[in-house]
Amino acid sequence: MSSGIENKVVVITGASSGLGAETARHLAKAGAHVVLGARRIQRLESLARELHLDPEAIQKTDVTDRSQVKSLVNRAVALHGRIDVLLNNAGLMPSSMLDKLKVDEDTDIAAGMAKTYEKAIPSSSFARAVEFAISQPEDVDINEVLFRPTSQAY
């Protein structure tokens, strides 16, 4: 029986460390084709070696530059012919529907988020949540997952 993840093409931003890197590890182990983007290319290169990825499966990507994100997407399509999942994991930003293209707002939310996440959440917990969402049957659409700790500072 297939896990529902094998051979899916998954693009992950913010993949050089933390949640993104751990999710890449989980999904690659489950048989997904991962294409990874992040600003820290040396860390991406190290992760690509660890996961035995084609060097073309990584790209230096700053998600605040729309052309770099478009280039990452184009690379995934060039390598695999499609994208099944796009995991936008880079940085912190205000929530918005993707089609609203809220990319130019200059909002400092990091300080507020730091208080919310004072308790560390293991990156493997996030990776398992993503793996669960991706593994659902084709007739189930999970288009957004909100991930937060079960206990908060307030």
In a domain, 26, yes or no: yes
Q: Quick check: is 94 in a domain?
A: yes
CB 151: neighbour CB atoms within 10 A?
7
- In which domain, by residue range, is 52 found? 9-134
Does residue 129 sit within a domain? yes
Strand order in the sheet with 58-60: 58-60, 33-38, 9-13, 85-87
Instruction: For residue 149, tell me if it sits in a domain.
Output: no
Q: How many domains does the chain have?
A: 1
- Residuewise pLDDT in 10s, the chain (154 residues): 357 899 999 999 999 988 899 999 999 999 999 999 999 999 999 999 999 999 999 999 999 899 999 999 999 999 999 999 999 888 655 555 556 665 555 455 555 555 555 566 778 888 898 898 898 888 888 877 777 666 655 4
CATH of the domain at 116: 3.40.50.720
Tell me whether residue 127 is in a domain.
yes
